[in-house]
Amino acid sequence: MKILVTGANGYIGCHVVVALLNKGCEVVACDIETGDIDSRAKIVKMNLFTEDYSDIYTRLGKPDACVHLAWRNGFVHNAETQMGDLSAHYKFLTALMEQGLKQLAVMSSMHEVGYWEGKIDENTPCNPITQYGIAKNALRQSLTLYCSQKGITLQWLRGYYILGDDAKNHSIFTKICQAAQEGKKTFPFTSGKTKYDFLHIEDLADQISAVAMQDKVNGIINCCSGKPVTLAEQVEAFIKEHGFDIKLEYGAFPDRPYDSPVIYGDDRKIRDVMALNSR
């Protein structure tokens, strides 16, 4: 199976490329920068936002499926680029599909749901409250309509709280690593009571690759653990695991107003996907 991965040089993309290659897929890896992409892939250096889309499907190798991970400023939730880039994402993806692509998997986030307490499934209403969430949700709605009209398989991958490969991440775990390297003994923290759905980057890549390699389970698919854990528990375990001599300064920062007390994914569909992948 030949799979195109956009944003292949990014934090998630590098791991997805490796996971697909290790499962025997032929991978076309596309990004603006390509230095961190596994050399086993066919690497294409390309800016998706400035490219001429004529014959783009052929130029990218006529893939069987596309895993669309490309997204600027994914960690800057209210950046102007969130809505500014939206049309370019839509134009690129619809050009691929108009020219022959039959299966599309797009990476998204729990932030498209907005404020929600508890488990998120594919029927949970979306009321995003950040520019990032608004843009992702708008892309989902437009692609859902387009793909249903064209008979194209759409897999909407909803991510949660990712950890691992912390040098490339922009999470609290990255910041704790930096603080420890600088010799700091304390780290300013929130209450730590918020519960998230944590998933290691390699497990996430395994799930994303498994989704793209099948077309039986489609629509919104939570890439998640399905288990809510408090931020304090996860961070304390991270500090202990790495042997850092650093203590959390609880209450130094307020919890973010758009974060729910507990939010996690319904993992039933991803478990079905992984069962198919193991056969």
Catalytic residues: 132
CA separation for the pair 93, 98 (Å, rounded): 9
User: Is residue 147 within 8 Å of residue 97, measured between CB atoms?
Assistant: yes
CA separation for the pair 192, 190 (Å, rounded): 5
Give burial (CB, 10 Å; 0-12/13-18/19+) of 125.
Answer: exposed
For tokens 């039933």, what's the residue? Answer: 268
User: Is residue 172 within 8 Å of residue 229, measured between CB atoms?
Assistant: no
| Cβ neighbours, 10 Å, residue 167 | 8
Buried b (16+ CB within 10 A) or exposed e, 139-156: bbebbeebbeeeebbbbb
